[in-house]
Amino acid sequence: MVAERNMPPGTYDASARRTRAARIELDDGRPPRVHGERIRDALAHADIVHVAARAPASDARKHWDAIVRYVGERKPLDENAITFERTGRTWLDVRFDPQRQHTFRHSCTAQPLHTDGAYDRDPADIIFFFCERQAPANGETLFLDALELVFLLEREDPKLLEQLRARPVTFSKGDGGRKEATVIADGAESPVLCWNYYRTEARDGEERASIERFRSFLEERVVAAGRGLSIRLEPGEAVFFHDARTLHGRRAFEAKRLDDRLLWKGGLRLGRGA
């Protein structure tokens, strides 16, 4: 996505958009540095990069550890599932667990569109998942980029767009973090998003009404309407995306046993010029 240089802040030219998504395939015979630099280059021109693998790695986390060091600096993402405190570990498992289906992380239910950094004062620039085991059916990851979201709101609910840009919302998650930000802010190349419905704290009825209205918009006018991008990761594949430029979520899936679906999530900070 590329901003029109001569336009005022908050105005973006649809004809000059950067590629919304890219799909690349890595050559197994090349070293990790080459893979990492290729992913980093793709992220400079796309908000979402689907990395197809020719074969699942035998030690997938070690495999991706070696690659992503050439994409950016790792940000530890793992959280205690009860207190939500950060553990300091870089990998966070998103695994189906029939004993812990009260959390999106461990359930087979659909997960609403959100940004991971909504309640984090120092969020990762890039979030990535790789798939170790995919569900027998469904479980696609859903994406909606910031420009498409703004275009939809401008066309279908401009008053809501105005509210989302004007009034900061408080997001919090136990001991895991707390932040105040507008849901949609102006950025140099793309609108900047901050959103997680289940982590919002409304200060009054007007703010709660705006939050509920946006939740309904995403569920009814985006997900149910089939808008956005759907990617079903196969074992060995990964997806990297700019967290503040995209909303992401998940379709419900079929699962019965522990680890019927298992993805690993990581976060990265990008250096200057990335």
Regarding whether 136 and 117 lie in a shared domain, the answer is yes
Task: Tell me which residue range forms the domain holding 256.
Answer: 14-145+229-269
Contact 167, 176 (CB under 8 A): no
Q: Does the pLDDT at position 8 exceed 70?
A: no
Domain end among 223, 243, 258 = 223
Domain count, the chain: 2
- pLDDT tens-digit series, residues 65-87: 999 999 999 999 988 777 778 88
pLDDT over 70 percentage in the chain: 90
Contact 240, 51 (CB under 8 A): yes
Mean pLDDT over each residue of the chain, to the nearest integer: 89
Please identify which residue in the block is written with the tokens 């703004």: 150
Contact 68, 74 (CB under 8 A): yes
Q: Does the pLDDT at position 186 exceed 90?
A: yes
Closest CA to 49 of 26, 83, 79: 26
- pLDDT tens-digit series, residues 134-155: 999 999 999 999 999 999 999 9
- pLDDT tens-digit series, residues 10-54: 554 554 455 589 999 987 788 999 999 999 999 999 999 999 977
Regarding whether 54 and 98 lie in a shared domain, the answer is yes
Regarding whether 172 and 254 lie in a shared domain, the answer is no
Q: Does the pLDDT at position 202 exceed 70?
A: yes
Regarding whether 239 and 120 lie in a shared domain, the answer is yes
Please identify which residue in the block is written with the tokens 């029109």: 4
| pTM for the structure as a whole | 0.91
Regarding whether 154 and 140 lie in a shared domain, the answer is no
Regarding whether 157 and 105 lie in a shared domain, the answer is no
Please identify which residue in the block is written with the tokens 């932040």: 179
Residue 117: burial class (beta carbons within 10 Å; 0-12, 13-18, 19+): buried
According to the model, what pLDDT value does residue 14 have? 52
Q: Do the domain assignments include residue 82?
A: yes
Contact 240, 71 (CB under 8 A): yes
